[in-house]
Amino acid sequence: MNYVPGTASLIDDIDKKHLVLLRDGRTLIGYLRSIDQFANLVFHQTVERIHVGKKFGDIPRGIFIVRGENVVLLGEIDVEKPCDTLLQQVSIEEILEEQRLQQQAKQETEKVKMQVLKDRGLSIPKADNLDEY
Amino acid sequence: INDSSDPEAEQVSQPEWPENGEEWSDGGEEDDEGTGMDCGLLQAMAEEDEEINVHNEETFGMELDSHGTTEDSSSGGLLQFREPPPPPPDPKPPARHSSPFPPRQMYVPRAGPGQCGRGRGHRRGLGRGQMFEDPAVMRIVQGRPSLKVTQSYFVCENTTHSTFSSFDLFAFSGQYVVLNQTGAFMFPMSRPCPSTPQSLTPKMMQLRFGASSPRQSPFYSSTSDSVQYPGPVTQLHPQHKRLLSQKQRIFPRKPDGWDPYCNLMTAKEKEWITRLQMIQLQSEHPYLEDYYYQEYYRRIEAKMAEEELGIRGKREPPKLTTLYITKTDSYTPVVHIEGSLGQVAVSTCYSPRRAISAVHGEQKDNRQQRLEVLSKIEKLFIVLLEVEETDRMKTAVLSEAEERKLMEETQKKVEHIYSQMQHHNPLDTGGEFLPFLLVSKGKRLLSRLLPFLKNDAALEMLRIVTSNLPTLMSRDTEEALPVLYPPFRNVIGGLTFSQLIKVLKDLTSDSLTLACQNKRSSRIDNSVAVVFRTDTIFQVAGQLSQCSLVEPLLLPSNLLTLFCRYLDKHTVHQLKSNMESATGFLALPS
């Protein structure tokens, strides 16, 4: 139980199923087993879920330790609630393929865009480069 | 968290991360490398571990009893839980052991280089306190092929009063010990690590339990509840503590399907985290840094107190009032201060400021007047421009009739301007031309008009200017007065002597004094020089010296100095003597 009511603590989330979104865009689902003061998380029976369009695929990952700073958001999953039927689960290979295609398409459009900008003498710096600055 | 200002700790070598990371890694890589090499290495490490174990026990094993010193709280104290010492210092005498030592030091013994170390029962580090920033960070990886679990271990304890007879840090692989406030400690044997050498455990346990006799910390709060309280309880608001205790009593047990992996994180660990968080909440200025928490509990407390004493009627909610407002019941929305024009409106939180009913009249009039003058000047300027234009056109060859007509028209215009400037405002007491002259553009207008004026008109203007010279000079913000000098010079050049004297007379002593005392004295000199050309002055002076000054001009003393610049000594002396004889007192010493 939370010893300091009114504050946020992950202690109450222990041993519950969670969904966590990481900074690199990955989505993990697993049972939160352990935490520490930096909000590093230990997940058990973790599954990485990839979404492409209306399809998704789960890749089992086992035990996952997430460094606290890489968490974007974390939320408890209500296991009793019925699952979303809109999304269709597919096999891992298929979803990976879908993801690859998606990435490819994105890169293509990006490339075209950059070229167009370049022709006009403009340039938009990439966000990920700025991060490291 | 760990403000390890412990002098002792600082003397010690800083804890270092073992650089030999690969030796710490678990068996994942071992598979790749092949087992041959590893087996031998690990075995060697294990052997060394054993040696260290034995050594530690020999060195420290028997000293379990003599723990629990009251090292003064000034010594760094335990890393994590640095509570500020409570106000009453610990009255209890130091513990009953002979050798004081820095009690709570978080020590995670360092593995020697090339060793896979294991936490040992290093009490107090014995001066070698290796304070790690976070005990949990220190991961001791068991150097066994099968084990891939890292354990963190720590000691948490009250830093200020060591009433614990024993506190030890020792970590087994797979086990850890935590001491809580009451001194009791748990020994979670529930999850024994398979690789733990079983031989160690019982012995350690024996040592541990044998020595322990937990004591109550003296400053423990009145609500001395059970173990579950997170560490630095003193920082909690008493109301908060009460709430917590209440909640704990009614803490429901949730019936759940048994999860075989549940409680991997033990209560102690959870407590540890909570304690850490609590520590982070500590501050010296709680009302500053954690206002809402303090306020919230204060209000709850007040409410509880009220309930306890019985509800005494419904109280009004506290209003947000400032100190300044003393009378809130009745207020006069408009206050009239004696001697002021208009009224001052008082604005309160009940009604905003009322519009001030100011006394109109003069203020507005002045502004309006000025605007009128300005607009008039503009209009007259246009006429002047036309006059100047026709003047320029005069050079062109025109028939006489046309020329005459043109001249008449021009003259009319000039007169128009003149009259306009003269009779601006019947109410104005300042003089006929003064409003225009006060405006710099008006001066410019006049200066350009002067060549066109007839003699008497020009003289009139000169008279007015000279008589109003002090006013003009004082209010000459844009320093436009010099613009008048050239045309006036011409005018003066055409004056007769008597007229000149009259003009001089008009230059009253006051005006000249003012002119001379003007800050811009150099400019005064210039102006005087300009207005009165040198030869004119010469003439004047000559005349003055000769005549007996029938009408003694009240010349200011410094007028002489002015004359000095333009005249030769002889004339000046004569003047001076004349003046002296006339006025009867010494003129200024020249």
Is A103 within the bounds of a domain?
A: no
Coil, strand or helix at B568:
coil
Q: Is A22 on the interface with B (CB under 8 A)?
A: no
* B270 part of contact set with chain A, CB < 8 Å: yes
Q: What does the pLDDT look like over B146-198, one tens digit per residue?
A: 444 444 444 434 444 433 333 333 333 334 333 444 444 444 444 444 444 44
Q: What are the structural domain ranges in chain B?
A: 368-494, 527-589
* Residue A34: predicted pLDDT: 93
Neighbouring residues of B392: CB distance < 8 A, sequence distance ≥ 6 = none
Mean pLDDT of B428-455: 79
Tell whether A23 is covered by a domain. Answer: yes
The count of C-alpha atoms lying within 13 angstroms of the C-alpha of B86, restricted to the half-sphere facing its C-beta, is: 18
| Domain count for chain A | 1
Q: Does A4 touch chain B (CB under 8 A)?
A: yes
**Rounded Cα distance, B165 and A123, in Å:** 69
Q: Residue B290 is which amino acid?
A: D
Judged by a CB distance cut-off of 8 A, whether residue A44 touches chain B is yes
Residues of B in contact with A34 (CB under 8 A): 264-265, 269
The whole domain housing A49 covers: 7-89
Residues of A in contact with B244 (CB under 8 A): 3
Amino acid A93: pLDDT: 93
Q: How many whole angstroms separate alpha carbon B67 and alpha carbon B63?
A: 7
Secondary structure string (H, E, C) spanning B31-78: HHHCHHHHHHHHHHHHHHHHHHHHHHHHHHHHHHCCCCCCCCCCCCCC
B80-108 pLDDT, tens digit each: 444 444 444 444 444 444 444 444 444 44
B264 in contact with chain A, both atoms CB, cutoff 8 A: yes
Whole-Å CA distances, B149 to A61, B26, B141, B172: 17, 8, 7, 12
Residue type, A36: D
The mean pLDDT of chain B is: 60
Q: Are B154 and B136 in contact (CB under 8 A)?
A: yes
Q: How far is A14 from chain B (nearest CA, A)?
A: 8
Report pLDDT for B257: 66
- Averaged pLDDT, A7-18: 87
* Segment B533-556, tens digit of pLDDT: 444 555 555 555 544 443 344 344
Handedness of CA B204, B207, B210, B212 (dihedral sign): negative
For residue A45, the model assigns a pLDDT of 94
Instruction: Tell me which chain B residue has its CA closest to the CA of residue A38.
Output: B273
> Can you tell me the mean pLDDT for B422-440?
69
The upper half-sphere exposure of residue A109, i.e. CA atoms within 13 Å in the direction of its Cβ, equals: 5
CATH number at residue A20: 2.30.30.100
How many Cβ atoms are within 10 Å of B476's Cβ, its own excluded? 17
Is any Cβ of chain B less than 8 angstroms from the Cβ of A34? Answer: yes
Query: Residues B580, B587: contact at Cβ < 8 Å?
Result: yes
Q: In the prediction, which pLDDT does B167 show?
A: 37
With vertex at residue B158, the alpha carbon angle to CA B72 and CA A11, rounded to the nearest 5 degrees, is 155
Q: Closest CB to B247: pick one of A1, A37, A44.
A: A1
Residues 430-489 of B with CB under 8 A from A: none
- The answer to whether the CB atoms of B274 and A4 lie below 8 A apart is yes
Report the pLDDT value the prediction gives residue B159, as an integer from 0 to 100: 41
Rounded mean pLDDT, A77-86? 83
What confidence score (pLDDT) does residue B192 get?
41
In a domain, A25, yes or no: yes
Task: Give the residue from A1, A2, A3 with the most B CB atoms within 10 Å of its CB, the best one to mutate.
Answer: A3
Residue with the bigger pLDDT between B349 and B265: it is B265
Q: Is the pLDDT of residue A70 over 70?
A: yes
In angstroms, rounded to a whole number, what is the distance separating the alpha carbons of residues B280 and A105? 48
B243 touches chain A (CB under 8 A): yes
Chain A residues with beta carbon closer than 8 angstroms to that of B265: 14-15, 33-35
Looking at residue B270, what is its pLDDT?
87
CB atoms near residue B149 (< 10 Å) = 16
B248 in contact with chain A, both atoms CB, cutoff 8 A: yes
Query: Which residues does chain A have within 8 Å of residue B289's beta carbon, measured at their own beta carbons?
Result: none
Q: Is residue A95 part of a domain?
A: no
pLDDT at B282 over 60: yes
Backbone angles phi, psi at B219, to 5 degrees: -90, 10
* Residues with Cβ within 8 Å of residue A109, at least 6 apart in sequence: none
8 A C-beta contact, residue B458 and residue B450: yes
Judge whether A1 lies within some domain: no
Q: Region B445-471: what's the mean pLDDT?
A: 82
